[in-house]
Chain A
Amino acid sequence: MNIPRIVKIKQIINESPTVKTFIFDWDVKDEIPGQFMMVWNFNNEKPMSISYIDPVKNEIGISIRNIGKFTKQIHNLCEGDKLGLRGPYGRGFHIAGSKILVVGGGIGMAPIIAFSDKASGMGIEVHIISAATTHNELLFNDRIEKSDAKLLTCTDDGTSGFCGFGTDLAEKTLSEIDYDMVICCGPEVMMKKLFDIVEKFKIPAQFSMERYMKCGMGLCGQCCVDNVGWRICVEGPVFWTDELRMINEFGQYRRDSSGVKHNIP
Protein backbone atom coordinates (compact mmCIF):
# COMPACT_ATOMS: atom_id res chain seq x y z
CA MET A 1 0.00 0.00 0.00
CA ASN A 2 1.09 3.56 -0.67
CA ILE A 3 1.51 4.43 3.00
CA PRO A 4 4.72 5.64 4.64
CA ARG A 5 6.44 2.99 6.75
CA ILE A 6 8.21 4.48 9.76
CA VAL A 7 11.86 3.49 9.91
CA LYS A 8 14.79 4.41 12.17
CA ILE A 9 17.92 5.85 10.66
CA LYS A 10 20.38 3.02 11.27
CA GLN A 11 23.50 4.74 10.04
CA ILE A 12 24.51 8.11 8.61
CA ILE A 13 27.53 8.32 6.30
CA ASN A 14 29.11 11.70 5.53
CA GLU A 15 29.90 11.39 1.82
CA SER A 16 31.07 14.95 1.22
CA PRO A 17 30.74 18.38 2.85
CA THR A 18 27.19 18.58 1.41
CA VAL A 19 26.01 14.98 1.01
CA LYS A 20 24.97 12.39 3.57
CA THR A 21 23.76 8.83 3.08
CA PHE A 22 21.05 7.48 5.38
CA ILE A 23 20.80 3.72 5.84
CA PHE A 24 17.66 1.90 7.00
CA ASP A 25 16.63 -1.64 7.78
CA TRP A 26 14.30 -2.57 4.94
CA ASP A 27 12.73 -5.78 3.79
CA VAL A 28 14.43 -5.77 0.37
CA LYS A 29 12.30 -7.50 -2.26
CA ASP A 30 12.58 -6.20 -5.78
CA GLU A 31 14.13 -2.77 -5.25
CA ILE A 32 15.99 -1.85 -8.43
CA PRO A 33 18.70 0.80 -8.91
CA GLY A 34 17.06 3.84 -10.48
CA GLN A 35 13.89 3.49 -8.43
CA PHE A 36 13.07 6.05 -5.77
CA MET A 37 11.42 6.31 -2.36
CA MET A 38 9.00 8.97 -1.14
CA VAL A 39 10.62 10.27 2.03
CA TRP A 40 8.41 11.82 4.72
CA ASN A 41 10.00 13.78 7.57
CA PHE A 42 6.61 14.38 9.22
CA ASN A 43 6.56 17.83 7.66
CA ASN A 44 7.02 17.38 3.92
CA GLU A 45 7.51 14.47 1.54
CA LYS A 46 9.90 14.29 -1.44
CA PRO A 47 11.21 11.68 -3.86
CA MET A 48 14.78 10.44 -3.31
CA SER A 49 16.71 7.91 -5.40
CA ILE A 50 17.77 4.71 -3.75
CA SER A 51 21.58 4.82 -3.55
CA TYR A 52 22.21 1.59 -1.69
CA ILE A 53 20.50 -1.80 -1.78
CA ASP A 54 21.73 -4.74 0.27
CA PRO A 55 19.41 -7.74 -0.15
CA VAL A 56 21.52 -9.83 2.25
CA LYS A 57 21.68 -7.42 5.18
CA ASN A 58 18.19 -6.19 4.24
CA GLU A 59 19.16 -2.54 4.12
CA ILE A 60 18.54 0.33 1.76
CA GLY A 61 20.00 3.81 1.67
CA ILE A 62 19.26 7.20 0.22
CA SER A 63 21.78 9.97 -0.33
CA ILE A 64 20.77 13.58 0.10
CA ARG A 65 22.50 16.83 -0.81
CA ASN A 66 21.76 19.69 1.54
CA ILE A 67 20.25 22.24 -0.85
CA GLY A 68 17.04 23.53 0.73
CA LYS A 69 14.69 23.51 3.68
CA PHE A 70 13.63 19.88 3.42
CA THR A 71 17.09 18.45 2.80
CA LYS A 72 18.50 20.59 5.62
CA GLN A 73 15.91 19.23 8.04
CA ILE A 74 16.95 15.72 7.07
CA HIS A 75 20.66 16.53 7.38
CA ASN A 76 20.00 17.67 10.94
CA LEU A 77 18.69 14.22 11.92
CA CYS A 78 20.80 11.73 13.89
CA GLU A 79 21.13 7.97 13.89
CA GLY A 80 18.09 6.55 15.67
CA ASP A 81 15.78 9.34 14.45
CA LYS A 82 12.75 8.34 12.40
CA LEU A 83 11.56 8.96 8.85
CA GLY A 84 8.60 7.67 6.86
CA LEU A 85 9.40 5.82 3.64
CA ARG A 86 7.10 4.52 0.92
CA GLY A 87 8.10 2.83 -2.27
CA PRO A 88 10.01 1.72 -4.20
CA TYR A 89 8.47 3.66 -7.07
CA GLY A 90 9.05 3.95 -10.78
CA ARG A 91 10.95 1.98 -13.36
CA GLY A 92 14.63 1.52 -12.58
CA PHE A 93 17.63 0.90 -14.81
CA HIS A 94 17.59 -2.14 -17.01
CA ILE A 95 20.84 -4.12 -16.78
CA ALA A 96 22.00 -5.31 -20.19
CA GLY A 97 25.29 -5.75 -22.01
CA SER A 98 28.70 -6.81 -20.82
CA LYS A 99 30.50 -3.48 -20.85
CA ILE A 100 28.74 -0.39 -19.57
CA LEU A 101 29.76 3.24 -19.21
CA VAL A 102 27.96 4.98 -16.35
CA VAL A 103 28.05 8.74 -15.95
CA GLY A 104 26.99 10.53 -12.77
CA GLY A 105 27.01 14.24 -12.09
CA GLY A 106 26.77 15.63 -8.56
CA ILE A 107 24.02 14.03 -6.50
CA GLY A 108 23.03 12.18 -9.69
CA MET A 109 25.66 9.69 -8.50
CA ALA A 110 23.08 8.34 -6.00
CA PRO A 111 21.24 5.94 -8.36
CA ILE A 112 24.45 5.49 -10.39
CA ILE A 113 26.35 3.97 -7.46
CA ALA A 114 23.48 1.57 -6.74
CA PHE A 115 23.52 0.53 -10.40
CA SER A 116 27.29 0.22 -10.58
CA ASP A 117 27.45 -1.92 -7.42
CA LYS A 118 24.80 -4.25 -8.79
CA ALA A 119 26.12 -4.49 -12.35
CA SER A 120 29.76 -4.95 -11.40
CA GLY A 121 28.68 -7.49 -8.78
CA MET A 122 27.12 -9.46 -11.62
CA GLY A 123 30.44 -9.55 -13.44
CA ILE A 124 29.63 -6.80 -15.93
CA GLU A 125 32.52 -4.52 -16.80
CA VAL A 126 31.53 -1.08 -15.51
CA HIS A 127 33.40 2.16 -16.11
CA ILE A 128 32.23 5.10 -14.04
CA ILE A 129 32.64 8.75 -14.88
CA SER A 130 32.00 10.56 -11.62
CA ALA A 131 31.72 14.31 -12.05
CA ALA A 132 31.68 16.96 -9.33
CA THR A 133 32.56 20.61 -8.80
CA THR A 134 35.69 19.79 -6.81
CA HIS A 135 37.59 16.78 -5.43
CA ASN A 136 35.96 16.57 -2.00
CA GLU A 137 32.49 16.62 -3.60
CA LEU A 138 33.21 13.43 -5.56
CA LEU A 139 30.81 10.86 -4.15
CA PHE A 140 31.19 7.19 -3.24
CA ASN A 141 34.87 6.85 -4.27
CA ASP A 142 35.40 4.31 -1.48
CA ARG A 143 32.46 2.18 -2.59
CA ILE A 144 33.64 2.26 -6.19
CA GLU A 145 37.16 1.27 -5.18
CA LYS A 146 35.81 -1.70 -3.22
CA SER A 147 33.89 -2.89 -6.29
CA ASP A 148 35.23 -4.15 -9.61
CA ALA A 149 34.13 -1.00 -11.40
CA LYS A 150 36.74 1.31 -12.88
CA LEU A 151 36.57 4.94 -11.75
CA LEU A 152 37.30 7.99 -13.89
CA THR A 153 36.93 11.21 -11.91
CA CYS A 154 36.19 14.59 -13.34
CA THR A 155 36.08 17.97 -11.59
CA ASP A 156 35.19 21.47 -12.71
CA ASP A 157 38.29 22.88 -11.03
CA GLY A 158 40.68 20.09 -11.97
CA THR A 159 41.41 19.10 -8.37
CA SER A 160 40.84 15.45 -9.26
CA GLY A 161 41.05 13.62 -12.56
CA PHE A 162 39.83 15.19 -15.78
CA CYS A 163 39.40 18.98 -15.60
CA GLY A 164 36.15 20.01 -17.27
CA PHE A 165 32.70 18.66 -18.00
CA GLY A 166 31.78 15.02 -17.42
CA THR A 167 30.25 15.03 -20.87
CA ASP A 168 33.58 15.97 -22.46
CA LEU A 169 35.27 13.10 -20.67
CA ALA A 170 32.41 10.81 -21.71
CA GLU A 171 32.77 11.83 -25.34
CA LYS A 172 36.51 11.21 -25.22
CA THR A 173 36.00 7.83 -23.54
CA LEU A 174 33.29 6.78 -25.99
CA SER A 175 35.56 7.57 -28.92
CA GLU A 176 38.31 5.36 -27.48
CA ILE A 177 36.38 2.40 -26.04
CA ASP A 178 33.38 0.41 -27.28
CA TYR A 179 30.52 0.06 -24.80
CA ASP A 180 27.27 -1.89 -25.04
CA MET A 181 25.32 0.70 -23.13
CA VAL A 182 25.50 4.05 -21.30
CA ILE A 183 23.73 4.91 -18.04
CA CYS A 184 23.43 8.48 -16.79
CA CYS A 185 22.00 10.58 -14.00
CA GLY A 186 22.89 14.18 -13.28
CA PRO A 187 21.80 17.75 -13.91
CA GLU A 188 19.47 17.83 -16.91
CA VAL A 189 21.76 20.12 -18.92
CA MET A 190 24.48 17.51 -18.59
CA MET A 191 22.12 14.64 -19.45
CA LYS A 192 20.90 16.47 -22.55
CA LYS A 193 24.51 16.95 -23.69
CA LEU A 194 25.28 13.29 -23.10
CA PHE A 195 22.06 12.31 -24.87
CA ASP A 196 23.27 14.13 -27.99
CA ILE A 197 26.66 12.43 -27.69
CA VAL A 198 25.28 8.87 -27.37
CA GLU A 199 22.93 9.54 -30.26
CA LYS A 200 25.97 10.44 -32.32
CA PHE A 201 27.77 7.24 -31.26
CA LYS A 202 24.53 5.26 -31.71
CA ILE A 203 24.83 3.58 -28.32
CA PRO A 204 21.70 2.60 -26.38
CA ALA A 205 21.48 4.60 -23.16
CA GLN A 206 19.27 5.13 -20.17
CA PHE A 207 18.81 8.42 -18.34
CA SER A 208 17.11 9.10 -15.03
CA MET A 209 14.88 12.18 -15.13
CA GLU A 210 13.51 14.29 -12.33
CA ARG A 211 10.39 16.42 -12.13
CA TYR A 212 8.33 18.04 -9.37
CA MET A 213 6.45 15.22 -7.74
CA LYS A 214 3.43 15.08 -5.48
CA CYS A 215 1.63 11.76 -5.13
CA GLY A 216 4.31 9.36 -6.42
CA MET A 217 1.57 6.85 -7.25
CA GLY A 218 0.64 7.91 -10.73
CA LEU A 219 -2.50 9.92 -10.06
CA CYS A 220 -1.92 13.65 -9.62
CA GLY A 221 -0.25 14.23 -12.99
CA GLN A 222 2.26 16.71 -11.59
CA CYS A 223 5.27 14.86 -13.07
CA CYS A 224 3.83 14.16 -16.55
CA VAL A 225 6.19 15.12 -19.37
CA ASP A 226 5.52 16.56 -22.84
CA ASN A 227 4.60 15.43 -25.44
CA VAL A 228 3.92 11.85 -24.48
CA GLY A 229 2.28 12.56 -21.13
CA TRP A 230 4.16 9.79 -19.32
CA ARG A 231 4.54 10.01 -15.55
CA ILE A 232 8.07 10.27 -14.18
CA CYS A 233 6.83 8.39 -11.09
CA VAL A 234 5.49 5.37 -13.00
CA GLU A 235 6.76 5.15 -16.58
CA GLY A 236 10.02 6.83 -15.45
CA PRO A 237 12.17 8.03 -13.88
CA VAL A 238 14.49 6.00 -16.13
CA PHE A 239 14.02 6.29 -19.90
CA TRP A 240 15.84 4.79 -22.86
CA THR A 241 17.13 7.12 -25.55
CA ASP A 242 14.38 6.09 -27.96
CA GLU A 243 11.82 7.13 -25.34
CA LEU A 244 13.62 10.37 -24.53
CA ARG A 245 13.42 11.32 -28.18
CA MET A 246 9.66 11.56 -27.63
CA ILE A 247 10.00 13.56 -24.41
CA ASN A 248 10.57 16.89 -26.05
CA GLU A 249 10.66 18.88 -22.81
CA PHE A 250 13.84 16.96 -21.86
CA GLY A 251 16.61 19.52 -21.52
CA GLN A 252 14.18 22.32 -22.37
CA TYR A 253 11.80 23.09 -19.50
CA ARG A 254 10.18 21.72 -16.36
CA ARG A 255 7.02 22.52 -14.43
CA ASP A 256 6.88 23.73 -10.81
CA SER A 257 4.41 22.74 -8.10
CA SER A 258 1.61 24.77 -9.68
CA GLY A 259 2.39 23.48 -13.16
CA VAL A 260 3.98 26.70 -14.47
CA LYS A 261 6.82 26.01 -16.92
CA HIS A 262 10.42 27.11 -16.31
CA ASN A 263 13.23 26.87 -18.80
CA ILE A 264 16.26 24.65 -18.14
CA PRO A 265 18.68 25.82 -16.91
Chain B
Amino acid sequence: MTILEIELCGIKMRNPTMLAAGILGSTASSLNWAGRSGAGAVVTKSFGIEPNKGYSNPTTVEVMGGIINAVGLSNPGVNNFKLELEKLDKSVPAIASVYGANQYEFSDIVSKIENLVDAIELNVSCPHAMGGCGSAIGQDPNLTADIVRTVKKNVKIPVIVKLTPNVTDIVEIAQYAEDAGADALTLINSMGPGMKIDIETGIPILKNRVGGLSGPAIKPIAIRCVFDVFESVDIPIIGVGGIRDYKDVLEFLYAGAQCVQIGTSIMYEGMDIFTNINNGLRRFMDKKGYGSVDEIVGIAH
Protein backbone atom coordinates (compact mmCIF):
# COMPACT_ATOMS: atom_id res chain seq x y z
CA MET B 1 0.00 0.00 0.00
CA THR B 2 1.39 3.32 -1.11
CA ILE B 3 1.10 6.24 1.26
CA LEU B 4 0.90 9.69 -0.27
CA GLU B 5 1.06 11.52 3.06
CA ILE B 6 4.08 13.69 3.62
CA GLU B 7 5.37 16.04 6.27
CA LEU B 8 6.79 19.40 5.31
CA CYS B 9 8.50 21.40 8.06
CA GLY B 10 6.36 19.54 10.57
CA ILE B 11 3.14 20.21 8.63
CA LYS B 12 1.29 17.01 7.76
CA MET B 13 -0.15 16.86 4.24
CA ARG B 14 -2.43 14.08 2.97
CA ASN B 15 -0.69 14.19 -0.42
CA PRO B 16 2.22 16.09 -1.98
CA THR B 17 0.18 18.49 -4.16
CA MET B 18 -0.60 22.12 -3.33
CA LEU B 19 -2.46 24.90 -5.08
CA ALA B 20 0.24 27.37 -6.25
CA ALA B 21 0.14 31.04 -5.24
CA GLY B 22 -1.94 33.32 -7.46
CA ILE B 23 -4.02 30.67 -9.15
CA LEU B 24 -7.44 31.31 -7.59
CA GLY B 25 -6.63 31.69 -3.88
CA SER B 26 -7.71 35.32 -3.41
CA THR B 27 -10.59 34.22 -1.21
CA ALA B 28 -11.23 31.65 1.50
CA SER B 29 -13.95 30.21 -0.74
CA SER B 30 -11.62 29.37 -3.60
CA LEU B 31 -8.92 28.04 -1.25
CA ASN B 32 -11.47 25.81 0.50
CA TRP B 33 -12.66 24.63 -2.90
CA ALA B 34 -9.12 23.60 -3.88
CA GLY B 35 -8.91 21.69 -0.61
CA ARG B 36 -12.22 19.95 -1.33
CA SER B 37 -10.94 19.17 -4.83
CA GLY B 38 -8.05 17.12 -3.48
CA ALA B 39 -5.10 19.49 -2.96
CA GLY B 40 -2.91 18.43 -0.05
CA ALA B 41 -2.38 22.07 0.97
CA VAL B 42 -3.25 25.49 -0.40
CA VAL B 43 -1.22 28.64 -0.92
CA THR B 44 -2.99 32.00 -1.00
CA LYS B 45 -2.68 34.63 -3.68
CA SER B 46 0.21 36.90 -2.65
CA PHE B 47 -0.96 39.88 -0.62
CA GLY B 48 0.69 43.05 0.60
CA ILE B 49 0.02 45.90 3.02
CA GLU B 50 -2.41 47.94 0.94
CA PRO B 51 -5.14 46.98 -1.53
CA ASN B 52 -3.65 46.73 -5.03
CA LYS B 53 -5.69 46.77 -8.24
CA GLY B 54 -2.84 45.26 -10.27
CA TYR B 55 -2.43 45.99 -13.95
CA SER B 56 -5.28 46.66 -16.39
CA ASN B 57 -6.38 43.96 -18.78
CA PRO B 58 -5.25 42.13 -20.77
CA THR B 59 -3.40 40.59 -17.84
CA THR B 60 -3.04 37.11 -19.31
CA VAL B 61 -2.58 35.59 -22.74
CA GLU B 62 -1.97 32.02 -23.80
CA VAL B 63 1.27 31.04 -25.55
CA MET B 64 2.63 27.70 -26.71
CA GLY B 65 3.07 25.58 -23.59
CA GLY B 66 1.42 27.90 -21.12
CA ILE B 67 0.52 31.52 -20.54
CA ILE B 68 2.18 34.81 -19.82
CA ASN B 69 0.60 36.92 -17.10
CA ALA B 70 0.99 40.35 -15.62
CA VAL B 71 -1.82 40.35 -13.10
CA GLY B 72 0.38 42.64 -11.02
CA LEU B 73 -0.20 41.09 -7.59
CA SER B 74 -3.73 42.43 -7.27
CA ASN B 75 -5.03 41.84 -3.76
CA PRO B 76 -7.27 43.55 -1.19
CA GLY B 77 -4.44 44.21 1.31
CA VAL B 78 -3.59 42.38 4.51
CA ASN B 79 -6.47 43.73 6.61
CA ASN B 80 -9.09 42.48 4.15
CA PHE B 81 -7.17 39.30 3.45
CA LYS B 82 -7.13 38.55 7.15
CA LEU B 83 -10.93 38.29 7.05
CA GLU B 84 -10.61 35.70 4.30
CA LEU B 85 -8.02 33.69 6.24
CA GLU B 86 -10.40 33.60 9.20
CA LYS B 87 -12.90 31.78 6.98
CA LEU B 88 -10.57 28.97 5.92
CA ASP B 89 -12.20 25.66 6.74
CA LYS B 90 -8.84 24.18 7.80
CA SER B 91 -9.51 20.92 5.99
CA VAL B 92 -5.98 21.16 4.61
CA PRO B 93 -2.93 23.20 5.68
CA ALA B 94 -2.90 26.77 4.39
CA ILE B 95 0.16 28.79 3.48
CA ALA B 96 -0.01 32.57 3.22
CA SER B 97 1.95 34.04 0.33
CA VAL B 98 3.01 37.59 1.11
CA TYR B 99 4.94 40.30 -0.68
CA GLY B 100 6.42 43.63 0.29
CA ALA B 101 9.08 46.14 -0.67
CA ASN B 102 11.35 45.62 2.36
CA GLN B 103 11.77 43.60 5.56
CA TYR B 104 9.56 45.98 7.57
CA GLU B 105 6.60 45.55 5.25
CA PHE B 106 7.06 41.78 5.22
CA SER B 107 7.26 41.60 9.03
CA ASP B 108 4.28 43.89 9.46
CA ILE B 109 2.09 41.73 7.20
CA VAL B 110 3.25 38.42 8.59
CA SER B 111 2.72 39.43 12.21
CA LYS B 112 -0.94 40.22 11.43
CA ILE B 113 -1.80 36.81 10.03
CA GLU B 114 0.67 34.38 11.58
CA ASN B 115 -1.93 32.79 13.85
CA LEU B 116 -4.30 32.07 10.95
CA VAL B 117 -2.09 29.92 8.71
CA ASP B 118 0.29 26.98 8.93
CA ALA B 119 3.24 28.59 7.14
CA ILE B 120 4.34 31.69 5.28
CA GLU B 121 5.65 31.79 1.73
CA LEU B 122 7.69 34.89 0.95
CA ASN B 123 7.13 36.00 -2.61
CA VAL B 124 10.43 37.61 -3.55
CA SER B 125 10.15 36.33 -7.07
CA CYS B 126 7.21 37.80 -8.99
CA PRO B 127 8.66 38.97 -12.33
CA HIS B 128 6.09 41.73 -12.89
CA ALA B 129 5.71 43.35 -9.46
CA MET B 130 5.70 47.11 -9.00
CA GLY B 131 7.69 49.31 -6.62
CA GLY B 132 10.73 47.17 -5.84
CA CYS B 133 8.75 44.09 -4.83
CA GLY B 134 9.03 40.56 -6.15
CA SER B 135 12.05 39.53 -8.17
CA ALA B 136 13.68 42.92 -7.61
CA ILE B 137 14.38 41.43 -4.17
CA GLY B 138 14.82 37.79 -5.10
CA GLN B 139 17.51 38.53 -7.65
CA ASP B 140 19.69 39.98 -4.90
CA PRO B 141 21.03 37.43 -2.39
CA ASN B 142 21.62 40.03 0.32
CA LEU B 143 18.20 41.66 0.10
CA THR B 144 16.64 38.20 0.16
CA ALA B 145 18.64 37.19 3.21
CA ASP B 146 17.75 40.42 5.06
CA ILE B 147 14.06 39.81 4.59
CA VAL B 148 14.24 36.13 5.56
CA ARG B 149 16.25 36.96 8.68
CA THR B 150 13.85 39.68 9.82
CA VAL B 151 10.72 37.65 9.16
CA LYS B 152 12.19 34.59 10.90
CA LYS B 153 12.89 36.71 13.97
CA ASN B 154 9.24 37.75 14.10
CA VAL B 155 7.31 34.54 13.51
CA LYS B 156 7.16 31.05 14.92
CA ILE B 157 5.55 29.22 12.01
CA PRO B 158 7.69 27.88 9.13
CA VAL B 159 8.93 30.42 6.60
CA ILE B 160 9.20 29.27 3.00
CA VAL B 161 11.02 31.40 0.44
CA LYS B 162 9.84 31.32 -3.16
CA LEU B 163 12.65 31.97 -5.61
CA THR B 164 12.86 33.27 -9.15
CA PRO B 165 14.62 31.29 -11.87
CA ASN B 166 15.53 34.56 -13.57
CA VAL B 167 19.02 34.75 -12.07
CA THR B 168 22.46 33.62 -13.11
CA ASP B 169 22.88 31.28 -10.17
CA ILE B 170 19.78 30.16 -8.29
CA VAL B 171 21.93 27.99 -6.01
CA GLU B 172 23.65 31.04 -4.53
CA ILE B 173 20.31 32.70 -3.67
CA ALA B 174 19.00 29.43 -2.24
CA GLN B 175 22.04 29.15 0.03
CA TYR B 176 21.67 32.75 1.22
CA ALA B 177 18.02 32.07 2.04
CA GLU B 178 18.93 28.88 3.91
CA ASP B 179 21.70 30.60 5.87
CA ALA B 180 19.28 33.39 6.79
CA GLY B 181 17.00 30.80 8.38
CA ALA B 182 14.50 29.78 5.70
CA ASP B 183 12.66 26.58 6.62
CA ALA B 184 11.97 25.55 3.01
CA LEU B 185 12.24 26.82 -0.55
CA THR B 186 9.65 26.99 -3.31
CA LEU B 187 11.16 26.71 -6.80
CA ILE B 188 10.18 28.37 -9.17
CA ASN B 189 8.07 31.46 -9.80
CA SER B 190 7.10 32.32 -13.38
CA MET B 191 9.90 33.00 -15.86
CA GLY B 192 11.03 35.82 -18.04
CA PRO B 193 9.28 38.15 -18.31
CA GLY B 194 8.11 37.28 -21.79
CA MET B 195 6.08 39.09 -24.44
CA LYS B 196 3.48 38.23 -27.05
CA ILE B 197 2.76 40.57 -29.96
CA ASP B 198 -0.44 40.54 -31.97
CA ILE B 199 0.52 40.09 -35.62
CA GLU B 200 -2.45 41.99 -37.09
CA THR B 201 -1.80 45.18 -35.18
CA GLY B 202 1.80 44.87 -33.97
CA ILE B 203 0.69 45.59 -30.40
CA PRO B 204 2.05 43.63 -27.40
CA ILE B 205 -1.10 41.95 -26.06
CA LEU B 206 -0.50 42.32 -22.32
CA LYS B 207 -1.30 45.81 -21.06
CA ASN B 208 1.93 45.67 -19.08
CA ARG B 209 3.57 44.49 -22.31
CA VAL B 210 5.55 41.82 -20.48
CA GLY B 211 4.53 39.06 -18.11
CA GLY B 212 5.77 35.94 -16.37
CA LEU B 213 5.79 32.71 -18.36
CA SER B 214 4.23 29.70 -16.65
CA GLY B 215 2.90 26.30 -17.64
CA PRO B 216 4.39 23.16 -19.19
CA ALA B 217 6.93 25.19 -21.19
CA ILE B 218 8.91 26.08 -18.05
CA LYS B 219 8.98 22.62 -16.50
CA PRO B 220 12.44 21.55 -17.70
CA ILE B 221 13.93 24.69 -16.17
CA ALA B 222 12.05 24.20 -12.92
CA ILE B 223 13.29 20.61 -12.74
CA ARG B 224 16.87 21.75 -13.29
CA CYS B 225 16.51 24.41 -10.57
CA VAL B 226 15.20 21.84 -8.09
CA PHE B 227 17.94 19.38 -9.04
CA ASP B 228 20.75 21.93 -8.60
CA VAL B 229 19.44 23.42 -5.38
CA PHE B 230 18.84 19.95 -3.86
CA GLU B 231 22.58 19.26 -4.17
CA SER B 232 23.53 22.32 -2.16
CA VAL B 233 20.93 22.93 0.56
CA ASP B 234 19.54 20.80 3.39
CA ILE B 235 16.09 22.37 3.75
CA PRO B 236 13.07 20.89 1.93
CA ILE B 237 12.18 22.01 -1.57
CA ILE B 238 8.68 22.55 -2.99
CA GLY B 239 8.75 22.12 -6.76
CA VAL B 240 6.52 24.18 -9.05
CA GLY B 241 6.43 24.98 -12.74
CA GLY B 242 4.46 23.35 -15.53
CA ILE B 243 3.03 20.34 -13.71
CA ARG B 244 0.11 18.86 -15.64
CA ASP B 245 0.07 15.17 -14.69
CA TYR B 246 1.52 12.70 -12.19
CA LYS B 247 4.55 12.04 -14.39
CA ASP B 248 5.55 15.67 -14.05
CA VAL B 249 5.22 15.33 -10.28
CA LEU B 250 7.47 12.26 -10.31
CA GLU B 251 10.16 14.21 -12.15
CA PHE B 252 10.06 16.92 -9.49
CA LEU B 253 10.23 14.37 -6.68
CA TYR B 254 13.13 12.54 -8.35
CA ALA B 255 14.94 15.88 -8.77
CA GLY B 256 14.62 16.46 -5.02
CA ALA B 257 11.31 18.19 -4.33
CA GLN B 258 9.46 16.95 -1.27
CA CYS B 259 6.14 18.12 -2.62
CA VAL B 260 4.82 20.23 -5.48
CA GLN B 261 2.52 23.11 -6.38
CA ILE B 262 0.20 23.29 -9.36
CA GLY B 263 -0.94 26.45 -11.10
CA THR B 264 -1.40 27.09 -14.81
CA SER B 265 -2.47 23.57 -15.75
CA ILE B 266 -5.75 24.15 -13.92
CA MET B 267 -6.59 26.01 -17.14
CA TYR B 268 -6.30 22.76 -19.09
CA GLU B 269 -7.43 20.21 -16.52
CA GLY B 270 -9.82 22.06 -14.20
CA MET B 271 -9.92 21.56 -10.45
CA ASP B 272 -9.95 17.76 -10.83
CA ILE B 273 -6.22 18.01 -11.53
CA PHE B 274 -5.33 17.35 -7.88
CA THR B 275 -7.34 14.16 -7.58
CA ASN B 276 -6.24 12.92 -11.00
CA ILE B 277 -2.57 13.50 -10.20
CA ASN B 278 -2.83 11.82 -6.81
CA ASN B 279 -4.58 8.80 -8.30
CA GLY B 280 -1.90 8.55 -10.98
CA LEU B 281 0.87 8.86 -8.42
CA ARG B 282 -0.62 6.19 -6.21
CA ARG B 283 -1.03 3.77 -9.10
CA PHE B 284 2.50 4.36 -10.37
CA MET B 285 4.10 3.99 -6.96
CA ASP B 286 2.08 0.87 -6.22
CA LYS B 287 3.26 -0.69 -9.45
CA LYS B 288 6.88 0.22 -8.73
CA GLY B 289 6.62 -0.97 -5.16
CA TYR B 290 7.29 2.38 -3.51
CA GLY B 291 5.74 2.63 -0.06
CA SER B 292 5.93 6.39 0.47
CA VAL B 293 6.72 9.65 -1.27
CA ASP B 294 9.84 10.13 0.85
CA GLU B 295 11.39 7.03 -0.73
CA ILE B 296 11.53 8.66 -4.14
CA VAL B 297 12.60 12.19 -3.24
CA GLY B 298 15.96 12.90 -4.86
CA ILE B 299 16.51 9.52 -6.50
CA ALA B 300 17.82 11.25 -9.64
CA HIS B 301 20.99 12.12 -7.73
Interface residues of chain A, those whose CB is within 8 Å of chain B, are 1-4, 6, 38, 40, 42-46, 82, 84, 214-222, 224-231, 234, 255-261
Contact = CB atoms under 8 A, between A and B. Distances in A.
Contacts of B196: 3
Per CB-CB distance, the 9 closest pairs between chain A and chain B, nearest first, are: A229-B33, A221-B24, A45-B57, A259-B76, A229-B29, A2-B62, A6-B200, A229-B30, A215-B60
Given A84-B198, A220-B60, A214 B67 contact: no
12 contacts: A1-B62, A42-B201, A82-B200, A215-B60, A218-B266, A219-B60, A219-B263, A221-B22, A221-B30, A229-B34, A258-B52, A258-B75
Contacts of A255: 27, 76
Nearest to A247: B29
Interface in B128-181: none
B236 interface: no
A106 B198 CA distance: 34
B103 interface: no
Contacts of A45: 57-58, 207
Contacts of B59: 214-215, 220
If over half of A's interface residues share one DSSP class (helix, strand or loop), that class is named, otherwise mixed; here it is: loop
Given A82-B200, A258-B53, A260-B77, 4 more contacts: A229-B27, A257-B53, A258-B54, A259-B76
A2 B28 CA distance: 27
B27 A224 contact: yes
Contacts of A225: 29
A229 B61 contact: no
Interface in B94-113: none
Contacts of A231: 24, 30
Contacts of B11: none
A221 B25 contact: yes
Interface residues of B, number: 45
Given A84-B198, A229-B24, A260-B51, A220 B71 contact: yes
A40 B58 contact: yes
Interface in B266-300: 266-267, 270
A234 B58 CA distance: 18
B60 A221 contact: no
Contacts of A2: 60-62, 67, 267
Interface of B: 22-34, 45, 51-54, 56-62, 67, 69, 71, 74-77, 80, 196, 198, 200-201, 203, 205, 207, 263-264, 266-267, 270
Contact of B32 (A38, A215, A220, A229): A229
A227 B29 contact: yes
B26 A224 contact: yes
Contact of B56 (A4, A44, A217): A44
B87 to A, nearest CB: 8
Contact of A259 (B27, B207, B264): B27
A74 to B, nearest CB: 14
Nearest to A42: B203
Given A82-B200, A220-B59, A230 B205 contact: no
A158 B51 CA distance: 43
A260 to B, nearest CB: 5
B29 A3 contact: no
Nearest to B264: A219
B205 to A, nearest CB: 7
B160 to A, nearest CB: 20
B217 to A, nearest CB: 13
